[in-house]
Amino acid sequence: MIYLDNNATTKLAPEVLEAMLPWMVDHYGNPSAGYRFGKEARRAIDTAREQAAALINAHSPEEIIFTSGGTESNHLALASALSWLPPDSTFVSSTIEHSVIHEWLGAQAEKERLSWEQVSVNEDGQLHLDEWSEQLSRSESRFATLMWANNETGVLLDVEKAAAIAESQGAYFHSDAVQAVGKVPVDVQSHPMQSAAISGHKLHGPKGIGALWVNRHSRLHPVLLGGGQENNRRSGTENVAGIIGLGKAAELAQAHIARREEQQGLRDRFESALLGEIEGVEVNGTTEPARRLPNTSNLYFPGVDGEGLLILLDQAGICCSPGSACSTGAVTPSRVLTQMGYSRARAKSSVRFSLSHLTTEDEVTEAITLIKEAVKKLQIVLPTGSRVVGPRR
Ligand SMILES: Cc1ncc(COP(=O)(O)O)c(C=O)c1O
């Protein structure tokens, strides 16, 4: 199997499993317990908090709140702000946020708990900063959220400028950094931000664990109440093994980030081979490779049904993701791609490939051959001999 779906989830690093195992078997004490057996677990959690904080250059480990994953981390930041911001507040997001944020904001707006404004992106997948600035200049715009990197295209959003604009207007700034953390440097001190979401399983850690970084000067109102864990910010007995796993994964990620140029080199080789060898293939998102995550390639294969390509690639042993989602029998083209201005046809003919440091040169070479073969089988040939090509816009 050639696994090219690392933006969906990653393989657990063996070192992470090794670090977790004792906390699932022998050291099962409750970290809130006052005896030694519990205190050991507390100390291990503290170390993991330091490791997670170091990865994103938090001011202090206390700024890390462990959660059940990226979904909860984002929801905690949003729900907290909703509970203390004035009731007439407008929440501002981009049109390409992950469904975790998009659907939460949509649901709250529908119930009239907040106003929601979405700022569009261009064909490269970059935020229209002038629109962002104009939207945030309105006094009711008090919360701004922008993802650090897009999960489908890998495009790195201009968080630096977006956060600076939010700060200049006195708005809270949150970033869903789930896809960026562990792949590229994420330094929360370098931007004026209030919170950021992290997920363990996107960086070779376990599933079901994540963290919300909250600036020590920012307010956080808890959503889960009860035992008062995580310094009263997220109740619930800690997922000790998961937390230890996230800490270890964060420590290991530093080395992968340092070698991200190698990762990008492999991705670029994969991408340019497909662009050069299959007629009409185009990149979705910026063509400047350095402005995307070093592991992601979202490609448009003209005349090819993306779902069909996925099935053939699955049969050939390649795991990757579609540019469309199949729900209740209908194929819905990706919101992200259509919001970037691509046609529905193009979105339905697009596939995301995402590598990791575990992807080898040989796997990439084999994947290129198998993808070329599968595309050849699927390209629709019109009676005239010309291929059906989906329009760019
Ligand atoms: C950008 C982004 N945000 C949030 C999430 C949700 O994270 P989790 O699966 O840990 O809940 C994902 C997962 O796909 C993601 O890609």
Asked if residue 323 has pLDDT above 80, the reply is: no
Ligand 1 mean position, distance from CA 225 (Å): 23
CB-ligand 1 contact for 147 (6 Å cutoff): yes
CA distance 355 to 367: 11
Q: Are 182 and 249 in contact (CB under 8 A)?
A: yes
Q: Which of 174, 202, 204, 246 to mutate to test the pocket of ligand 1 (most atoms within 8 A of CB)?
A: 202
Which is it for the CA torsion 365, 368, 371, 376, positive or negative? negative
319 is catalytic: no
- Of the residues 255, 287, 308, the one at which a domain ends: 255
Instruction: Tell whether 90 and 234 lie within a shared domain.
Output: yes
Are 79 and 148 contained in the same domain? yes
* Average pLDDT of the segment spanning 321-330: 69
Range of weakest confidence among 17-21, 79-83, 329-333: 329-333
Domain of residue 351 covers: 259-378
Please give the Cα distance from 67 to 65 (Å, whole number). Answer: 6
- At residue 331, the pLDDT reads 76
Q: Residue 236 and residue 46: Cα distance in Å, rounded?
A: 16
121 SS3 class: strand
Whether 69 lines ligand 1, by a CB cut-off of 6 Å, is yes
96 within ligand 1 shell (Cβ under 6 A): no
Q: Residue 390: is its pLDDT beyond 90? A: no
* CATH assignment of the domain containing 282: 3.90.1150.10
Predicted confidence (pLDDT) at residue 392 exceeds the cutoff of 70: no
Mean pLDDT of 39-48: 98
Amino acid, single-letter form, for residue 42 = R
Dihedral (CA of 77, 197, 133, 393) sign: negative
Q: Domain check: are 343 and 362 in the same one?
A: yes
Give the pLDDT band of residue 327 (cuts 50, 70, 90): low
Ligand 1: distance of its center to the CA of 343 in Å?
25
Amino acid symbol at 104: W
Last residue of a domain, one of 240, 255, 270: 255
pLDDT bucket at 109, cuts 50 / 70 / 90: very high
| pLDDT for res 379 | 83
107 and 175 fall within a common domain: yes
| Residue 389, pLDDT score | 47
Tens digit of each residue's pLDDT (9 = 90 or more) over 233-259: 999 999 999 999 999 999 999 999 999
pLDDT for 221 equals: 98
Distance between Cα 273 and ligand 1 center (Å):
29
Overall domain count for the chain: 2
Distance CA 220, CA 262 (A): 39
Q: How many CB atoms lie within 10 A of CB 47?
A: 16
CATH of the domain at 141: 3.40.640.10
Residue 301 has, within 13 A of its CA and on its CB side, a CA count of 29
- For ligand 1, say whether the CB of 101 is within 6 Å of any of its atoms: no
Name the active-site residue from 326, 358, 380, 388: 326
Task: Identify whether residues 68 and 172 lie together within a single domain.
Answer: yes
d(CA 340, CA 154): 13
- Which of ligand 1's atoms lies nearest the C-alpha of 100? 4
Residue at token pair 């975790």 = 100
What's CA 216's distance to the chain center, in Å?
Answer: 23
Q: Are residues 121 and 237 in the same domain?
A: yes
Cα Rg of the chain (Å, integer):
22
Provide the pLDDT for residue 382.
Answer: 42
DSSP letter at 127 equals B
Quote the CA–CA distance of 321 and 299 in Å, as a whole number: 11
Domain check: are 80 and 136 in the same one?
Answer: yes
Q: Is residue 132 part of a domain?
A: yes
Residue 270 amino acid letter: F
User: Residue 245 — left, alpha, or beta (φ > 0 → left; ψ -120 to 50 → alpha)?
Assistant: alpha
| 9 is a domain residue | no
In a shared domain, residues 227 and 300:
no
Average pLDDT, the chain: 95
Task: Give this prediction's pTM.
Answer: 0.95
Tell me the per-residue pLDDT of 338-389, one tens digit each, with 9 for 90 and over. 999 999 999 999 999 999 999 999 999 999 999 999 999 998 644 443 444 4
Residue 204 has pLDDT above 80, yes or no: yes
98 — pLDDT class (breaks 50, 70, 90): very high
What is the whole-number distance in angstroms between the Cα of residue 303 and the centre of ligand 1? 30
Residue with tokens 């440097």: 185
Final residue of a structural domain among 203, 237, 255: 255
21 and 168 share a domain? yes
